Amino acid sequence: MSSRRRIGAAVAQGRSAPGRGWRNRRAAGASPEVGVRGNPKMLKFRSVALVAGVALLGSACGGPEASESEPTKMTWEEFRASVYEDPEGKLIFDGDMALDSEEELRAFFDNHVAAETGTSRGGLAVYNTSPTKALSGDVKWSATQARNLTYCVSSTFSGNKARVVTAMNSATAAWEATANVNFTHVTAQDGACTASNNNVLFDVRPVNSGGQYLARAFFPNSGRSGRNVLVDNTAFGPISPWTLEGIMRHELGHVLGFRHEHTRSTGSCFEDNAWRALTSTYDRASVMHYPQCAGTQTGDLVLTTLDKQGARALYP
């Protein structure tokens, strides 16, 4: 009997802001898988950063190895059927992408799914809302804010709090070592770590998603109420070869503005055009890539050389 788990979704604000999440599916003797809900074209990957779910692939993209055939555009009905609502009331799609309302969901579909199916093969991708991929459309933190990314870790994690703090320390250090960003854990706010705490930029809190995802995150254009990294209790269970640190690395990639690397990589994986490539080479081993979508990362979720190049390009 297989167990299922998914990494959460990232919540974004605005007319065309996507979120993120992970879903895991693992059978005995098989590699962890990112599951699919409703429609096989919609991935439920592990975190937000994304909302992220922990368990890598297999059937999420039509099989262990997704095909390279010409992608087929989804209808609105197919797209909507694959969407679900998480405990925070966010509409989750593409595994760990999140929006606040039905109106925003329809706008995202019209502007980025129906309008065009991306097939370009550039590397690490930043969330971009410009129809022409103008740099001004990049969804990222200002240079000043990027150096002051403050967060709290909720005391309601209880016995798991130390694990979350350690995982966040490791994940933030990985991004700080390569990009001009700085995360700060404001421990004094842990006792009041809520979505309405304006003393920090974002909160890291536990959630009971019912196994829908392992974790989820948000994008830089989210309002304060949506700037959360939510961690499901399944993330503290057996998720090998992933680790909680790896899941947080993926989720913090979303926090910095990075999309899933596979968003335009294969015809059987969900694709849209709300992104801009930061490197010239497509990276199947990226920390932002779902293994089930013809990815090559068989171990934990770690930053590759190309991930680091892309991160430095966005945050020099």
What is the pLDDT confidence band of residue 210, given thresholds at 50, 70 and 90? confident
> Who wins on pLDDT, 116 or 251?
251
Residue range 121-131: average pLDDT? 73
Residue 195 has pLDDT above 80, yes or no: yes
Phi, psi (rounded to 5 degrees) for 194? -125, 175
- pLDDT of the residue at 274: 76
- pLDDT of the residue at 113: 62
- pLDDT of the residue at 102: 82
Residue range 52-73: average pLDDT? 37
- Give the residue ranges of DSSP H helices in the chain: 76-81, 102-108, 143-146, 161-176, 244-255, 305-314
Q: Peptide bond preceding 131: is omega within 30 degrees of 0, i.e. cis? A: no
Residue 68 has pLDDT above 60, yes or no: no
Q: What H or E segment, with its residue span, contains residue 84? A: strand 84-85
Residue 2 has pLDDT above 60, yes or no: no
Per DSSP, the residues of 231-284 read EEGGGGS--TT--HHHHHHHHHHHHTTB--GGGGT-TTS---S-EEESSSS--T
Residue 60 has pLDDT above 70, yes or no: no
Average pLDDT score, the chain: 74
The answer to whether 13 touches 37, Cβ cutoff 8 Å, is: no
Residue range 133-155: average pLDDT? 94
Residue 230 has pLDDT above 80, yes or no: yes
What is the value of pTM for the model shown? 0.69
Q: What homologous superfamily does CATH list for 3-314?
A: Collagenase (Catalytic Domain) (3.40.390.10)
C-alpha span between 214 and 47 (Å, rounded): 6
C-alpha span between 5 and 129 (Å, rounded): 30
What is the pLDDT confidence band of residue 146, given thresholds at 50, 70 and 90? very high
Least confident of 33-37, 117-121, 134-138, 214-218: 33-37
Residue 207 has pLDDT above 70, yes or no: yes
Residue 245 has pLDDT above 80, yes or no: yes
**Sequence-distant contacts of 158-167: CB under 8 A, at least 24 apart:** 160/206, 160/233, 160/236, 161/190, 163/236, 163/244, 164/204, 164/231, 164/244, 166/245, 167/243, 167/244, 167/245, 167/247, 167/248
- pLDDT of the residue at 43: 29
Residue 257 has pLDDT above 90, yes or no: yes
Residues of the chain above pLDDT 90, percent: 40
> Who wins on pLDDT, 313 or 111?
313
Please tell me which of 83-87, 154-158, 290-294 the model is most confident about, judged by mean pLDDT. 154-158
What is the pLDDT confidence band of residue 66, given thresholds at 50, 70 and 90? very low
Residue 144 has pLDDT above 50, yes or no: yes
